[in-house]
């Protein structure tokens, strides 16, 4: 058995229950990953509310991203090794969920191997940078721009936009809802925060 967050229906935070569930076993081609850090962002809130475009079938273990260590390999897996650090994005899985748990079994090809010594807590936020990179570089369809406005600039995707926008040489203006968050957005590199 393992601990996990389970939701049987959408609703307020109280629909999330901390329960014992059966430990997953890696099937052929899969790896069992022991969670180190689990990301919590707006997609998880939308799943809990039942408003996410890619809702997992209920009942479900929500959670869209985690970092952890490979605990066990299923038959035929040669691309990973036990003890290796990986990033799990449910965007790569058949179901958008499963990461609010102590362990997850996932196809080895869907896991992102991480370098030795990586900060696993920071790695759990990688999906924010995937989204921000897409917004800055491919969603623009080649449109040239010199500045960008990052709403919620102190949040996950917003702070990634600030950092990657600055690295790309853009003027970044951040929007936040408090002076404390404005200071944080500026510390990330925003040219100003309102």
pLDDT, one tens digit per residue, over 135-147 is 999 888 888 888 9
Q: What is the pLDDT of the chain when averaged over all its residues?
A: 93
Q: Is the pLDDT of residue 194 over 70?
A: no
Higher pLDDT, 143 or 97: 97
DSSP character at residue 99: -
Model confidence, pTM: 0.84
Half-sphere exposure of 40 (CA within 13 A, CB side): 6
- At 166, list the tokens: 């600055």
pLDDT (tens digit per residue) in 8-44: 999 999 999 999 999 999 999 999 999 999 998 888 9
Q: How large is the average pLDDT for residues 98-117?
A: 97
Distance CA 175, CA 163 (A): 14
Between strands 171-174 and 2-7, the pairing is unpaired
Q: Per residue in 43-53, pLDDT tens?
A: 899 999 999 99
Q: Return the bridge partners of 171, or none.
A: 147
Burial of 17 (0-12, 13-18, 19+ CB in 10 A): exposed
Backbone angles phi, psi at 173, to 5 degrees: -110, 125
As to burial, measured by CB atoms within 10 angstroms (0-12 exposed, 13-18 middle, 19+ buried), residue 48 is buried
pLDDT at residue 67 is higher than 90: yes
Percent of the chain with pLDDT over 70: 99
């Amino acid at each position: 058995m393992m601990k996990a967050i389970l939701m049987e229906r959408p609703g307020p935070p109280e629909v999330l229950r901390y329960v014992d569930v059966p430990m997953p076993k890696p099937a052929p081609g899969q790896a069992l990953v022991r969670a180190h850090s689990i990301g919590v962002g707006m997609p998880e809130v939308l799943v809990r509310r039942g408003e996410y475009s890619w809702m997992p079938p209920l009942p479900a273990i929500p959670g869209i991203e985690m970092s952890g260590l490979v605990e066990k390999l299923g038959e035929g897996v040669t691309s990973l090794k036990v003890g290796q650090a990986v990033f799990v994005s449910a965007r790569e899985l058949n179901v958008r969920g499963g990461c609010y748990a102590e362990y997850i079994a996932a196809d080895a090809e869907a896991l992102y191997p991480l370098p030795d010594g990586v900060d696993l807590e920071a790695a759990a936020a990688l999906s924010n940078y995937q989204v921000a990179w897409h917004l800055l570089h491919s969603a623009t369809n080649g449109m040239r721009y010199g500045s960008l406005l990052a709403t919620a600039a102190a949040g996950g995707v917003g702070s990634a936009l600030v950092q990657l926008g600055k690295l790309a040489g853009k003027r970044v203006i951040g929007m936040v809802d408090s002076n404390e968050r404005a200071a944080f957005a500026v510390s990330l590199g925003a040219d100003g925060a309102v």
